[in-house]
């Protein structure tokens, strides 16, 4: 599509636009002139026996209204972008206006964000105004993946259950939002062994969380789990430093059951949480992180 933005196309658009404006003016001038077409001022067109089309010119107010519209369009194209690559004499751009509005909004909110940034998470979680701001930030930036209720879906973590791949400490949440995360589970099928070995390991993984499983096959899969223990630990409780999930808590990010686990072992998975440091300022990230942290604290408090 790059050829659509070449200099030649810019000239083409500018010429067509200019000719169109000139043609509109010419058409108005022609339509405004009255010509006798018949003694009874008709065009000769008749419908339904006696319905005749009269040859009346445009009302003068209507004509001048059209002229003003075309002239306004010409002035607009001089001031603003519209004639191909010509930027307009005012230098206005939609992106520039957006950035200006964003800057003004940030300047207006700066005192409030400075106050919130200096407030500990525990206090922010109890501040209705801070949580309302955090909820809006979450809806605009996070809800697309984690859902409006922050409960996630297959492949997108639930942020309300207290189960954290990289840890749920306040500073860790800030780091996750700021820098993003890339979690990689490499394909491990060949390292585990045969297809039966992989299915046996899947049964052992199910047994770790107390999920329904085949105990005999789980025992056969236990020795093979040593391949997985390098990341998930010998007890299967995971490793937050690597983002390796806890396999004992019955929380299944990418699907539950033998088939889902076998698929994960055989095919692997790479999940990406994008960084937001270029999109949100540190103060906004602090408030957003406090809001996310508060969601899991409600669950923990309810459990206790």
* The total number of structural domains that make up the chain: 3
**Residue 30: its pLDDT value, please?**
81
Are residues 29 and 170 both part of a single domain? no
In 3-state terms, the chain is what percent helix, strand and coil (to 5)? 55, 10, 35
Within a domain: 86: no
Are residues 209 and 164 both part of a single domain? no
Are residues 157 and 282 both part of a single domain? yes
Within a domain: 175: yes
Within a domain: 192: yes
Domain that holds residue 226: 184-273
Are residues 135 and 207 both part of a single domain? no
Within a domain: 18: yes
Within a domain: 29: yes
Q: What 3-state class would DSSP assign to 24?
A: helix
Backbone angles phi, psi at 185, to 5 degrees: -110, 105
Question: How far from the centroid of its chain's Cα atoms is residue 109's Cα?
Answer: 23
Are residues 24 and 145 both part of a single domain? no
Within a domain: 119: yes
Are residues 110 and 67 both part of a single domain? no
The tens-digit pLDDT sequence of the chain (304 residues) is 455 556 788 888 889 999 999 999 898 888 777 666 667 777 777 888 778 877 777 788 888 999 999 999 999 999 999 888 888 999 999 999 999 998 898 899 899 999 999 999 889 999 999 999 999 999 999 999 999 999 999 999 999 998 999 999 999 999 999 999 999 999 999 999 999 999 999 999 999 999 999 999 999 999 999 999 999 999 999 999 999 999 999 899 999 999 999 999 999 999 999 999 989 999 999 999 999 999 998 655 455 5
Are residues 201 and 248 both part of a single domain? yes
Q: Tally DSSP H helices, then E strands, for the chain.
A: 13, 4
**Residue 37: its pLDDT value, please?**
63
Are residues 108 and 32 both part of a single domain? no
Within a domain: 87: no
Are residues 268 and 281 both part of a single domain? no
Whole-prediction pTM value?
0.72
Within a domain: 156: yes
Are residues 150 and 291 both part of a single domain? yes
Are residues 206 and 235 both part of a single domain? yes
Are residues 112 and 165 both part of a single domain? yes
CATH code for the domain in which residue 156 is found: 1.10.760.10
**Alpha-carbon dihedral of residues 292, 296, 298, 304, nearest 10 degrees?**
-160
Residue 202's closest CA among 224, 180, 178?
A: 224
CA-based R_g, the chain, Å = 34
């Amino acid at each position: 599509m790059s050829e659509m933005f070449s200099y030649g196309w810019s000239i083409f658009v500018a010429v067509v636009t200019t000719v169109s404006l000139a043609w509109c003016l010419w058409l108005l001038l022609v339509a405004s002139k009255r010509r006798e077409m018949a003694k009874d001022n008709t065009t000769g067109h008749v419908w339904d026996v006696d319905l005749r089309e009269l040859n009346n010119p445009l009302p003068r107010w209507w004509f001048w209204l059209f002229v003003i519209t075309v002239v306004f369009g010409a002035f607009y194209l001089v001031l603003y972008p519209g004639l191909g690559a010509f930027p307009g004499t005012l230098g206005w751009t939609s992106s520039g206006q957006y950035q200006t509005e964003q800057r003004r909004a940030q300047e207006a909110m700066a005192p409030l964000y400075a106050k919130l940034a200096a407030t500990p998470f525990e206090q922010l979680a109890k501040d209705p105004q801070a949580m309302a701001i955090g909820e809006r930030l979450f809806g605009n930036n996070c809800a697309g993946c984690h859902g409006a209720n922050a409960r996630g879906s297959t492949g997108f973590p639930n942020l309300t259950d207290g189960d954290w791949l990289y840890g749920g400490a306040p500073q860790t949440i800030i780091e996750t939002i700021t820098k993003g995360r890339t979690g990689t589970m490499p394909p491990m099928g060949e390292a585990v062994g045969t297809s039966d070995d992989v299915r046996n390991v899947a049964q052992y993984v199910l047994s770790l969380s107390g999920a329904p499983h085949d105990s005999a096959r789980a025992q056969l899969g236990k020795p093979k789990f040593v391949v997985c223990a390098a990341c998930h630990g010998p007890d299967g409780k995971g490793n937050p430093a690597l983002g390796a999930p806890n396999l004992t808590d019955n929380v299944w990010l990418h699907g539950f059951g033998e088939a889902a686990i076998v698929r994960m072992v055989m095919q692997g998975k790479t999940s990406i949480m994008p960084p937001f440091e270029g999109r949100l300022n540190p103060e906004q990230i602090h408030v957003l992180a406090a809001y996310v942290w508060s969601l899991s604290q409600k669950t923990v408090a309810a459990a206790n």
